[in-house]
Structure 1
């Protein structure tokens, strides 16, 4: 029994990217290209998650004073309002 099952994927503009990789000889099949792309996506997500975990760890370890959520949201709303105003000008 197969460990994986065949699927149908519509690539649209990405089809050209698959075709170029096949024509270059770097890959033997569209399946290889897609699997390589998924492995790259997995690596990217793992790297981003590691960065986010580190940022969270740094924030939790920071000795600075806590800022009440109400104050944080007030600052964000003010910043957003200022940006919207500058876009309208």
Structure 2
């Protein structure tokens, strides 16, 4: 196992030590390993989300090129009309 040295300002060092003193972590190394694992999970989740988003965009572009989909302005106009109709019916 490799060793790394990390310098922390006193408030951060005290915070890490409080986490160890509370029993949540056995050592500074245990705490840092947990932070790294959490960061790896976050990065993997972000990468998966971006990959899924790219696939969704590509699918939408393919659908639009094939003549599918609807014009955004038309959809927004319909939504606004529905909201106004709903408001009008509630006033009467």
Paired residue for 1:47? 45
Unmatched tracts of structure 2, length 5 or more? 66-92
The alignment's TM-score, normalised by the length of structure 1, stands at: 0.63
Q: Partner of 2:64: helix, strand, or coil?
A: coil
Highest Rg: 1 or 2?
2
- Measured after TM superposition, the shift of residue 14 of structure 1 is 2.9
Query: How large is the Cα RMSD of the aligned pairs?
Result: 1.4
Q: Partner of 1:11: helix, strand, or coil?
A: coil
Gap change, CA 1:64 and 1:11, over 3 Å in 2: farther
Unmatched tracts of structure 1, length 5 or more? 66-89
Paired residue for 2:64? 64
Deviations 1:46-88 (A, max 9, x none): 11111101100000111235xxxxxxxxxxxxxxxxxxxxxxx
Distance in 2, matches of 1:14 and 1:57, equals 41
Deviations 1:34-56 (A, max 9, x none): 00000000000011111101100
Q: As a proportion of its length, which structure holds more helix? A: 2
Paired residue for 1:6? 3
